């Protein structure tokens, strides 16, 4: 059997792929956080809970309304995004003039309430979402077996990331968003409805979390705590990448997934902490993050 | 005192930032097609007057009529839609946008704005540097960009805050030519200006502002007789 540094190639590629898939989730979630932070200056602690809402949304739609995966993939992010719009309009906007720490506390409280309610109704153990029929099975590659659904997650996750990047960096609406991030008051003076743009931006960032949740439902166990477990790592990814750049968030998310995957091969014991090692290093050397702008 | 051709009519305007009371009853009137300057020392309330018109202050009382319409309760993002273009003192060029994106950013507020071709003809430097990052431009070019982007929107009333500040004489001269051209096109312009020599030949009328109040106003013809008073006040 072929080996690299004493590690079978099959294991290496397997972990690399797993890392990329995790990385796609990190990218999707840190992207949403970066978009929200850019305009609202709020660290959205409810992001994990909103991701969990996406996964549960898919599960509940299937169980109670018999809505299949493909419809859910469109419908759930819209629903979760609409919840986000209500949160911004009726809660975050009321405290927007205060120190941004209050936004962090408010979203943190929301996350606890949402998670707590779901634990109350669905218990902690979680449920499984079936892999949609069209995506069952897999490809037998030379070096490993690639489950079709995992390949799909990678394609769909990266596709959504690139779509978001394109929308923000290459369109007129995106130019409004970038400019509004810099000088919201001047944008108002130009006649741009910033309160509306802010609401929609939060809704969009939250919808991204919901989309990630639907993608995750067939892979990870759908449970109330699934978001908060992931969010800690995503925050580390955001710190490493820096808040300034959309492409930075995507690349850092993928890279951290891969680094985590490779660590599982070469030094399994430290796989769950390696991202935090990187975070500490980056904070010491480049406090604004790899792609961040000067503060 | 309201006249039918008043594009901007401000009466007893008070403006506040938090607890600070900045404007203490400003009264001024700008007719269609006029270029009017607001003269005064730094901190006298001239920039705040422009910001109050744009609803960019915390609180305002009194009356601000734009085109005969009361705007005191109009939301900030709706003021521009009345045909107002604002060029802030710090120029407000966006670093995350290219020159071209900066130029195309402000939404169109009325028909009859200048086309990109016309703007590039007026400001050839901007054409050459249209792909550069907005804040990579020189100070003069950034000022041109800040002016150009509100000319595209079709705004008929321009509020220009200290557009010559810190710029080389040759650029200031060019800005003077641009203002003459805008006047010829029938724009109404309110110019907050420190550079009196720049403003004097362009303006139809002048308002002198001190401690948040208009303390004097006079026409271009009366200017000669006021020179000593102005020199003493503005310290030029």
Residue with tokens 């319409």: B69
Residue A123 confidence (pLDDT): 81
Indicate whether A295 pLDDT > 50.
no
Indicate whether B90 pLDDT > 70.
yes
**Torsion sign, CA atoms B178, B180, B184, B186:** positive
Q: Do B77 and A194 touch (CB under 8 A)?
A: yes
Q: Tell whether A291 is covered by a domain.
A: no
> Which of A135-149, A221-235, B93-107 has the weakest average pLDDT?
A135-149
Residue B58 confidence (pLDDT): 93
Indicate whether A3 pLDDT > 80.
no
- Return the closest-CA partner of residue A212 out of A272, A256, A253, A247: A253
Q: Which residues of B touch A172 (CB under 8 A)?
A: 104
Q: Tell me how far apart the alpha carbons of residues B16 and B21 are, in angstroms, rounded to a whole number.
A: 5
Higher pLDDT, B16 or A4: B16
Q: Do B109 and A191 touch (CB under 8 A)?
A: yes
Indicate whether A1 pLDDT > 70.
no
Q: Tell whether A290 is covered by a domain.
A: no
Q: Which residues of B touch A182 (CB under 8 A)?
A: 94-96
Q: What is the residue range of A267's domain?
A: 3-285
Q: Tell me how far apart the alpha carbons of residues B124 and B104 are, in angstroms, rounded to a whole number.
A: 16
Residue B3 confidence (pLDDT): 54
Q: Which residues contact B84 (CB under 8 A, 6 or more apart)?
A: B53, B54, B66, B109, B155, B157, B158, B159
Q: Which residues of A touch B151 (CB under 8 A)?
A: none
Q: Tell me how far apart the alpha carbons of residues B118 and A82 are, in angstroms, rounded to a whole number.
A: 43
Number of separate domains in chain A: 1
Indicate whether B2 pLDDT > 80.
no
Q: Over range A69-90, report the average pLDDT.
A: 95
Per-residue buried b or exposed e for B133-156, using 16+ beta carbons within 10 Å of the residue's own CB: bbbebeebbbbbbbbbbbbbbbbb
Answer yes or no: are the C-beta atoms of B160 and B191 closer than 8 Å: yes
Burial degree of A151 (CB within 10 A; 0-12, 13-18, 19+): middle
Q: Over range A223-233, report the average pLDDT.
A: 89
Indicate whether B1 pLDDT > 50.
no
Burial degree of B10 (CB within 10 A; 0-12, 13-18, 19+): buried
Q: Do A178 and B97 touch (CB under 8 A)?
A: yes
User: Band of the pLDDT at B25, cuts 50, 70, 90?
Assistant: very high
Q: Which residues of A touch B88 (CB under 8 A)?
A: 186, 189
Q: Tell whether A292 is covered by a domain.
A: no
Q: Domain extents for chain B?
A: 1-81+198-236
Shortest CA gap B202–chain A (Å): 26
B53, closest residue in chain A (CA to CA): A189
Query: B35: phi > 0 → left, psi -120 to 50 → alpha, else beta; which?
Result: beta
Q: Tell me how far apart the alpha carbons of residues B184 and B178 are, in angstroms, rounded to a whole number.
A: 10
CA distances for B208 relative to A67, B10, B76, angstroms: 70, 15, 26
Q: Tell whether A201 is covered by a domain.
A: yes
Q: In a mutagenesis test of the A interface, which of B52, B77, B134 is the best target, namely the one with the most A β-carbons within 10 Å?
A: B77
Q: Tell me how far apart the alpha carbons of residues A74 and A58 are, in angstroms, rounded to a whole number.
A: 10
Q: Which residues of A touch B56 (CB under 8 A)?
A: 185, 188-189
CB atoms closer than 10 angstroms to residue B177: 11
Answer yes or no: are the C-beta atoms of B15 and B48 closer than 8 Å: yes
Q: Tell whether A294 is covered by a domain.
A: no
B99, closest residue in chain A (CA to CA): A175
Query: In Å, how far from its chain's centre is CA A240?
Result: 15
ipTM of the prediction? 0.87
Answer yes or no: are the C-beta atoms of B190 and B26 closer than 8 Å: no
Q: Do B56 and A188 touch (CB under 8 A)?
A: yes
Residue A188 maps to which CATH number?
1.10.3470
Q: Do A191 and B107 touch (CB under 8 A)?
A: yes
Question: At the top level of CATH, which class does the domain B1-81+198-236 belong to?
Answer: alpha beta
Q: Which residues of B touch A189 (CB under 8 A)?
A: 54, 56, 76, 79-80, 86, 88
């Amino acid at each position: 059997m072929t080996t690299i540094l004493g590690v079978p190639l099959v294991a290496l590629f397997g972990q690399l792929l797993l890392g990329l898939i995790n990385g796609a989730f990190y990218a999707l979630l840190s992207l949403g956080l970066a978009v929200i932070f850019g305009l609202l200056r709020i660290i959205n602690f409810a992001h994990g809970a909103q991701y969990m809402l996406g996964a549960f949304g898919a599960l509940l739609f299937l169980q109670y309304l018999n809505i299949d995966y493909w419809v859910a993939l469109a419908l759930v992010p819209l629903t979760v995004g609409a919840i986000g719009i209500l949160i911004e309009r009726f809660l975050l906007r009321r405290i927007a003039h205060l120190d941004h720490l209050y936004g962090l506390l408010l979203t943190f409280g929301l996350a606890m309430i949402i998670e707590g309610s779901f634990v109350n109704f669905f218990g902690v153990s979680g449920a499984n979402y079936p892999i949609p029929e069209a995506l069952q099975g897999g490809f037998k590659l030379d070096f490993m077996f690639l489950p079709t659904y995992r390949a799909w997650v990678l394609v769909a996750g990266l596709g959504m990331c690139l779509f978001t990047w394109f929308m923000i960096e290459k369109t007129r609406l995106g130019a409004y968003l970038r400019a509004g991030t810099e000088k919201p008051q001047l944008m108002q003076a130009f006649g741009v409805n910033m309160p509306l743009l802010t609401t929609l931006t939060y809704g969009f960032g939250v919808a991204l979390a919901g989309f990630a949740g639907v993608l995750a439902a067939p892979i990870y166990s759908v449970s109330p705590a699934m978001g908060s477990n992931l969010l800690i790592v995503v925050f580390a990814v955001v710190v490493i990448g820096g808040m300034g750049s959309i492409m930075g968030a995507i690349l850092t998310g993928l890279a951290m997934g891969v680094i985590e995957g490779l660590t599982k091969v070469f030094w399994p014991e430290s796989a769950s902490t390696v991202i935090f090692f990187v975070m500490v290093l980056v904070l010491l050397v480049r406090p604004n993050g790899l792609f961040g702008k000067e503060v | 005192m309201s006249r039918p051709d008043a594009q901007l009519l401000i009466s007893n305007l008070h403006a506040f930032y938090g607890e600070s009371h900045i404007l203490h009853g400003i009264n001024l009137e700008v007719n269609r097609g006029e270029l009017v300057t607001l003269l005064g020392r730094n901190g006298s309330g001239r920039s705040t007057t422009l910001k109050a018109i744009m609803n960019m202050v915390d609180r305002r009382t009194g009356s601000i009529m734009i085109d005969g319409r009361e705007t005191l309760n109009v939301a900030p993002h709706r003021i521009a839609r009345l045909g107002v273009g604002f060029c802030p003192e710090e120029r407000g060029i966006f670093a995350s946008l290219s020159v071209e994106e900066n130029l195309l950013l402000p939404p169109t507020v009325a028909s009859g704005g200048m086309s990109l071709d016309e703007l590039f003809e007026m400001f050839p430097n901007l054409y050459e540097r249209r792909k550069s990052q907005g804040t990579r431009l020189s100070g003069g070019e950034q000022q041109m960009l800040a002016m150009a982007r509100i000319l595209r929107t079709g705004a008929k009333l321009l509020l220009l805050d200290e557009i010559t500040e810190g710029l080389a004489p040759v650029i200031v001269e060019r800005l003077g030519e641009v203002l003459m051209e805008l006047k010829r096109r029938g724009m109404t312009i309110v110019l907050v200006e420190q550079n009196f020599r720049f403003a004097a030949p362009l303006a139809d009328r002048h308002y002198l502002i001190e401690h948040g109040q208009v303390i004097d106003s006079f026409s271009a013809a009366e200017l000669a007789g006021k020179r000593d008073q102005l020199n003493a006040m503005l310290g030029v």
